[in-house]
């Protein structure tokens, strides 16, 4: 019996566009082993999901190659580095002084999340072998496939731009509804971020850059602007496209899908002069 891969790949293996899409936090397939280890109710994991970010991305995708994780973030967080293991729930974690831990790890949002919304998630610690298996079977294959896809796009077009698609809870009233993260200029050329800001402005969607989300491990690992591999994290306010309960697609899904499609088109347009020069 074959085991389903931990992610779905949409689009051609050899990218037809310099734009590559990634959705690492929308997984909704909760394994029995996860449910059996839960102390908290299953619905308490919903805030960890980028709920229906995959639905949004699938609606916007054209010819682009896209990876969508199917494992939930509660199982393993693909936007955390392998070493961000929490010793409070992971017997294989290397003890690190709290002051040396990342802010996310200290808050309980490490490679395997420990808590969400102040709720402790697990009834036991996980054996080192359990977490190692998740790394080998889920984390590494996703990042290997993403690296291969970006390298192929860079080889064909001379440039590759990763759009890493996430969602966020609503910020303060009057705050941004789209946060564009480029790790403070380290993950992408400024011209790509400027094009996204322009699209958001034209759509009358408030945007911000790097505040409060600058991008995580996906950008840190895969971006290499010096080699023309750029990466940008997009955080969409969930109230833009979900219903009032923030659980199912709502009436805003269609306009938000158009917004994402316009962003993809703008990034491809910005990248094409480089692509043409490379051919």
Instruction: Give the CA-trace dihedral at 206, 63, 187, 73, to 10 degrees.
Output: 80
Give the per-residue pLDDT at 136. Answer: 97
pLDDT above 70 covers a percentage of the chain that reads 97
On average, the pLDDT of the chain sits at: 94
Check: CATH 3.40.630.40 for 7-80+138-278?
yes
Evaluate if residue 191 carries a pLDDT over 50: yes
To the nearest 10 degrees (0 to 180), the angle between helices 253-278 and 140-157 is: 50
Cβ–Cβ < 8 Å for 163, 19: yes
Residue 167 neighbours by CB under 8 Å, 6+ apart: 25, 50, 51, 52, 53, 56, 235, 236, 237, 238, 241
Q: Provide mean pLDDT across the span 36-57.
A: 95
Give the CA count within 13 Å in the CB-facing half-sphere of 12: 12
Does the structure show a pLDDT above 90 at 167? Answer: yes
Could you give phi then psi for residue 231, rounded to 5 degrees?
A: -145, 135
2 pLDDT above the threshold of 50:
no
DSSP one-letter string for 213-224: ----HHHHHH-B
Average pLDDT over residues 84-100: 90
Q: What angle do the packed helices 53-60 and 253-278 form, to 10 degrees?
A: 50
Q: Which has the closest alpha carbon to 88: 71, 117, 118, 109?
A: 109
Whole-angstrom Cα distance, residue 240 to residue 246?
10
Q: ∠193-145-233 over CA atoms, to 5°?
A: 20
Per domain, the residue ranges of the chain are 7-80+138-278
pLDDT band at 273; cut points 50, 70, 90: confident
- pLDDT on residue 275: 58
**Residue 205 exposed, middle or buried by CB count within 10 Å (0-12, 13-18, 19+):** middle
Q: Compute the distance between CA of residue 138 and CA of residue 249 in angstroms, rounded to an integer.
A: 27
What's the rounded Cα separation, in Å, for the pair 140 and 121? 24
pLDDT, tens digit (0-9, with 9 covering 90-100), for 121-158: 999 999 999 999 999 999 999 999 999 999 999 999 99
In the chain, % of residues over pLDDT 90: 88
Instruction: Indicate the burial class of 43 (C-beta count within 10 angstroms; 0-12, 13-18, 19 or more).
Output: exposed
Confidence of residue 65 (pLDDT cuts 50, 70, 90): very high
Burial class of 174 by CB neighbour count within 10 A (0 to 12, 13 to 18, 19+):
exposed
The predicted structure's pLDDT at residue 127: 97
Q: Which of 31, 5, 9, 36 is nearest to 20 (CA)?
A: 9
Q: What is the pLDDT of residue 181?
A: 98
Give the position of tokens 């043409």: 276
276: number of Cβ within 10 Å: 10
Q: Phi/psi at 130 (nearest 5 deg)?
A: -65, -50
Mean pLDDT computed over 175-180 = 97
In tens, the pLDDT along 219-247 reads 999 999 999 999 999 999 999 999 999 99
Predicted local confidence at residue 1, as pLDDT: 35
Between 98 and 209, name the one with better pLDDT: 209
């Amino acid at each position: 019996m074959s085991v389903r891969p931990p992610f779905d790949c949409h689009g051609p293996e050899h990218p037809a566009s310099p734009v590559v899409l990634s959705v690492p936090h929308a997984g909704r397939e909760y394994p029995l082993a996860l449910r059996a280890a839960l102390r908290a109710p299953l619905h308490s994991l919903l805030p960890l999901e980028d709920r229906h970010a995959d639905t949004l991305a699938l609606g916007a995708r054209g010819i682009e190659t896209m990876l969508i994780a199917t494992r939930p973030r509660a199982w393993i967080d693909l936007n955390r580095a392998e070493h961000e293991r929490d010793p409070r729930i992971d017997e294989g974690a290397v003890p690190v002084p709290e002051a040396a831990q990342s802010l996310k790890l200290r808050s309980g949002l490490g490679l395997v999340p420990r808590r969400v919304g102040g709720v402790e998630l697990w009834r036991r610690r996980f054996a080192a072998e359990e977490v190692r298996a998740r790394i080998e079977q889920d984390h590494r294959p996703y990042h290997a496939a993403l690296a291969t896809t970006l390298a192929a796009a860079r080889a064909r077009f001379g440039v590759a731009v990763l759009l890493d698609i996430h969602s966020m809870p609503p910020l303060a009233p009057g705050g941004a509804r789209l946060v564009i993260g480029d790790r403070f200029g380290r993950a992408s050329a400024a011209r790509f971020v400027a094009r996204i800001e322009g699209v958001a402005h034209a759509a009358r969607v408030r945007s911000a850059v790097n505040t409060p989300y600058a991008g995580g491990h996906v950008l840190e690992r895969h971006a290499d602007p010096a080699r023309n591999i750029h990466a940008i994290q997009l955080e969409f306010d969930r109230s833009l496209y979900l219903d009032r309960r923030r659980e199912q697609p709502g009436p805003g899904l269609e306009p938000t899908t158009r917004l994402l499609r316009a962003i993809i088109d703008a990034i491809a347009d910005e990248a094409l002069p480089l692509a043409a020069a490379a051919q």
